[in-house]
Copies of this chain bind each other. A is one copy, B any other.
Amino acid sequence: MEKTIEQAKGILSRAELLEGWQGHRRLTRRVIEAFPEKEFFEFRIGGMRPFADMVKELLAIAEPGLRELVEGEKQEFDEHRDYGNKKADLLTQWDASTEAIDTLWEKLTDEKFSETVVLFGQYEFPVLWHIFYFIDNEIHHRGQGYVYLRALGIEPPLFYER
């Protein structure tokens, strides 16, 4: 592996990573929309959280996390923030975060992605891996949302449509 560690970081651009992330966010938004109002906040399987609570976790990570990575000012990780008690309230916040992510992204340079940063006061990784974690964690919980929808007899959005 010695040899490969020296490789140039030559296979992904900032713009491509953002487009990939926003594509996932568009799909997650459609998964939220697919839930009936009541079940979004209440339906659960095996002692897990309702999908609304998973979405609150995603909201607590994406924009605040990127803001801390970009601006350096420590953000609080708060997955119980009150956005209102309707699905539409969480969708409004989702869209606001989507816009904020686009704006914050413009301040990132290629060099920044290699910088090791402590996020939310405890997670220490290079910026690139923080962002991959944000995305992977969203895919992970969204996949769980798919099971909830199927258990409710609802056809989820197509996974490959972004």
Contacts and interface: CB of A to CB of B under 8 A. Distances in A.
Name A's interface SS: helix
B10 A152 contact: no
A153 B46 contact: yes
Interface stretch (A32-40, A82-90, A139-147): A139-147
A151 B4 contact: no
Interface in A1-41: 1, 4-5, 7-18, 20, 24
Interface residues of A, number: 46
Interface in A121-139: 128-129, 132-133, 136-137, 139
A46 B8 CA distance: 46
Contacts of A152: 46
Contact of A9 (B5, B13, B139): B13
Contacts of A9: 9-13, 16
B15 A5 contact: yes
A154 B21 CA distance: 31
B143 A11 contact: no
A150 interface: yes
A146 B45 CA distance: 11
Contacts of A48: 147, 150
Nearest 4 pairs of A and B residues by beta carbon:
A143-B143, A46-B150, A4-B15, A12-B12
Interface of A: 1, 4-5, 7-18, 20, 24, 45-48, 110, 113-114, 128-129, 132-133, 136-137, 139-144, 146-153, 159-160
